[in-house]
Structure 1
Amino acid sequence: MDKLNTHAKWWDFTWFSPSTFTNFDWQYPFILYGIALIPLFFLLRWLLSMRKNNRLELALPQGRLKSSPLAWLRHLPRLVWALFLSLLIIALARPQTTNEQVDQWTEGIDIVMAIDISVSMQMEDLKPNRLIAAKETAWNFVQGRLNDRMGVVIFAGDAYSLCPLTTDKELLQDYIEEINFDQIANRGTAIGSALAVATNRMRESLSQSKVVILLSDGDNTAGNIDPITAAQLASAYNIKIYTIGIGREGDVPYGKDFFGRTRMVANNMDETTLREIAEIGEGKFFRVADNEALQQVFAEIDRLEKTEIKETRFRNTFDYYDVYLRWALVFFAIWMLMKAAFLASPLED
């Protein structure tokens, strides 16, 4: 029996299996040493009886002295008494099981990821392109944030909330997988609008920690709000901002030309603005040029924004001393019957 069968009746012999005893927690384990003293008790009792008992001398013919196996039955009451004492000691040691339950709770963090889906995110310095690499890394990040509410904002020439704050990871996965370049018709990069939409999503949040992760590869060329103003607005709502500049400077691969050769186009980024946004939002700015660097950045953000977990432990204790006490009473009753029967020795008692 690998696990304790707590539903067994008290008369079930499984209570005496070795596996049952190994599954117990003992409230007073030192009392169990008393079982080892039981043989010593009988030895001392025998020695005392040898000194005190009167000897009765009998003269019998040699042929009348015979040994019988039934003579060993006179030791049976002592054995039953030893079992009674052993069971009584086990009951006094208080065998128990404990079922520890952990009630875990957390205030959690609200995180909104603002992802750039402008045309430049099709560049292939990250594989297979910037947007797909960003989607894959963002999903891996989401999977590791078990206690947090997360949402997604996408932006190009405009910005809108793709997924509200939620703890439903399957819903988030569906939304992230569906992100594509055709979801916003207006061209451009509206960084300020993306920050404003993310802030609007979290301005009524009661969470103690609110974070925006803004991922973009270009300059602010669209939208109706300046990125610095949007960052200051977010800061007023105690929202921390991490900015990630994706892509490398200079010529980067972007599709194929008419002859099937890789087309190279110039890439520029307003790194200064992204740094200033992160500074206003009391976060950090990161620059990534490949898939591995992007993964490392999200791992760093995951490390910086750890959720504080508080847990309360409850211990449910179940006592089983009554099982062994009942068995002890059974053996005590058997011993009493034996003392009243022919098995008793009048010379000893």
Structure 2
Amino acid sequence: MRSLLPILGFALAALALALGGVALVVGQDLRFIVLDNPWWLLTAIIPLLALAVRAGLTPRPPTMQFSRTRSARSLGPGLAARLAHLPDGMRLAAALLLAFALARPQSSRLTDRVEHEGIDIAIALDLSESMEADDLFPNRLEAAKEVIDQFIARRPHDRIGMVAFGAHASTVSPLTVDHGVLRQLVRRLQLGSLDGSKTAIGAGLGLALNRLKESDAATQVLVLLTDGVHNAEGIDPDSAAAEAKERGIAVYTVLIGRHASGQSVDPGRLERIAGLTGGYAYTAEDQQALVTTFQDLLDKLERSTIAGEHVRAELFFLFLWPALLLLLADVLLRSTRLRRFP
């Protein structure tokens, strides 16, 4: 049983070194660490019992007799002999650290309430045939997709949904915070994916309002981007605007492209929709005006605070990594300098 003492000594030294590193990283006293699953600490008993059983079953090493005491003393233990129990100690320390990691240590000092600012936004994009006009580069649709992509990227905390409309309306994405997927969907939008022979602004507004029914945010916004006039059957844009007003949803309209006299365009209706709902009506005749429009829209949109749950910073990895390093060092020592032979 005497062999247990050096093993425990090395284990305690390695454990103290690892815990010192944890305290240094956390930047606080270890007493501020709490355990989410403390019962896992009982697994630390297993390596201790295994070590005790092993020590009890290990036979005493053979002895050598010397005729002179001076000769025996001159053959004192070397460095390898003094460190013979180091791998066992490191293995025991690693097992204890793993037990502590399983108990899910967390920092009580770092407990905080997660909050972020955001609103829910629905975007309705026109996919009618006139969006192929090249007065914006390379055409109206591609220019619109580019500014919408940048808009989404600059609203990281908002839930954003999107619908597209031509002769009828279709959902591109429900409200989501997965902006990576949403931006991919925006980039894939192409003319011809919907019947673009007409412009159903009312249907686009109506479907976008339906997407916002999924929202419980205090602030909800609808952004309508079109280059034409409502000329399809179905929902009347003014009726959709009245519903938006009743629900407290601000509608921001963007009329894109240069329109000569006689072309099918109704800026007055877009201004009426925006004014009724407390939004704003923009006109973007060129690329720079479109970029400026969305920049101004970003500045106008307020942010509402959304509170999350209380959380604690997870610290298990601060015990897991030292354990893995100790096990690696154990393997290296056993296969090199402190290798044992039968």
CA contact (8 A) 1:241 1:281 kept: yes
The residue that corresponds to 1:279 in the other structure is 275
Matched residue, 1:118: 128
CA-CA distance at 1:210 after TM superposition: 0.9
**Deviation, structure 1 residue 103:** 3.7
1:123-272 aligned at under 5 Å gives the runs 123-250=133-260, 267-272=263-268
- Write the mapping of 1:46-61 to structure 2, written as runs, cut at 5 A: none
Does the C-alpha gap of structure 1 residues 10 and 134 become closer, same or farther in structure 2, counting only changes over 3 Å? closer
Q: Deviations over 1:103-136 (max 9, x none)?
A: 4324731111100011111111111110000001
Aligned mate of 2:16, from 9, 14, 17? 9
Q: Distance between the aligned counterparts of 1:308 and 1:136, measured in 2?
A: 26
Residues 11 and 272 (structure 1), Cα distance of their counterparts in 2 relative to 1, 3 Å cut: closer
- Tell me which amino acid in the other structure corresponds to 2:292: Q
Distance apart, 1:137 and its partner CA: 0.6
State the distance in 1 between where 2:260 and 2:174 align.
36
Q: For residues 212 and 241 of structure 2, what CA distance do their matches in structure 1 show? A: 13
- The answer to whether the aligner puts 1:302 opposite 2:302 as a matched pair is no
Residue 227 of structure 1 deviates from its aligned partner by 0.9
Shift of 1:311: 7.3
- 1:311 and 1:297 map into 2 onto residues whose CA distance is 31
Relative to structure 1, is the Cα distance of residues 106 and 223 closer, same or farther in structure 2, using a 3 angstrom cutoff? farther
The amino acid that maps onto 2:287 is N
Which amino acid letter does the alignment assign opposite residue 132 of structure 1? E
Structure 2 gap ranges (5+): 1-13, 30-106, 314-342
Amino acid across the alignment from 1:291: Q
Q: Describe the shift of the 1:223–1:314 C-alpha distance in structure 2 as closer, same or farther (beyond 3 A).
A: same
CA distance in 2, matches of 1:186, 1:294: 22
CA drift of 1:233 comes to 1.3
- Looking at structure 1, the residues matched to 170 and 307 of structure 2 have their Cα atoms a distance apart, in angstroms, of 37
* Distance (whole Å) between structure 2 residues aligned to residue 248 and residue 186 of structure 1: 19
1:279 & 1:11 partners in 2: Cα distance?
64
Change (3 A) 1:104 1:232: same
**Alignment partner of 1:250: what SS?**
coil
Who is 2:85 aligned against? none
The letter for the 1-side match of 2:231 is: T
TM-aligned CA distance change 1:290 to 1:203, over 3 Å: same
Whether the 8 Å CA contact 1:211–1:239 is kept in 2: the answer is: yes
SS at match of 1:182: coil
Compared with structure 1, are the counterparts of its residues 153 and 13 closer, same or farther at alpha carbon in structure 2 (3 Å cutoff)? closer
How far apart are residue 196 of structure 1 and its match? 0.7
TM-score (norm 1): 0.56
Residue correspondences, number: 220
CA, structure 1 residues 132+101, in 2 after alignment: closer, same or farther (shift >3 Å)? farther
Q: Deviations over 1:16-74 (max 9, x none)?
A: xxxx8xx889xxxxxxxxxxxxxxxxxxxxxxxxxxxxxxxxxxxxxxxxxxxxxxxxx
Q: For 2:15 and 2:227, locate their aligned partners in 1 and report how far apart those are by CA, in whole Å.
A: 67
Amino acid at match of 1:277: I
- Whether the aligned pair in 1 keeps the contact of 2:167 and 2:195 (CA below 8 Å) is yes
**CA–CA distance in structure 1, aligned partners of residues 226 and 281 of structure 2:** 11
Tell me, yes or no, if the aligned pair for 2:128 and 2:195 is still in contact at 8 Å: no
CA distance in 2, matches of 1:181, 1:246: 16
In the alignment, the residues of structure 2 paired with residue 296 and residue 206 of structure 1 have an alpha-carbon distance, to the nearest angstrom, of 30
Higher-helix-fraction structure: 2
Equivalent in the alignment of 2:49: none
Root-mean-square deviation over aligned CA pairs: 3.2
TM-score for both structures, normalised by structure 2: 0.57
Contact between 1:147 and 1:307, CA under 8 Å: does it hold in 2?
no
Q: Distance in 1 between matches of 2:186 and 2:175?
A: 13
Question: C-alpha displacement at 1:238, in angstroms?
Answer: 1.6
Please tell me the residue identity of whatever aligns with 2:163: V
8 A contact 2:223–2:253 mirrored in 1: yes
Larger Rg: 1
Q: Give per-residue Cα distances to partners, 1:231-280, cap 9 Å, x unaligned.
A: 101222221100001012328xxxxxxxxxxxxxx744210000000011
Q: Which runs of 5+ in 1 are unaligned?
A: 1-6, 15-19, 26-96, 252-265, 317-349
Deviation, 1:146, is 1.2
- Secondary structure of the residue aligned to 1:145 is coil
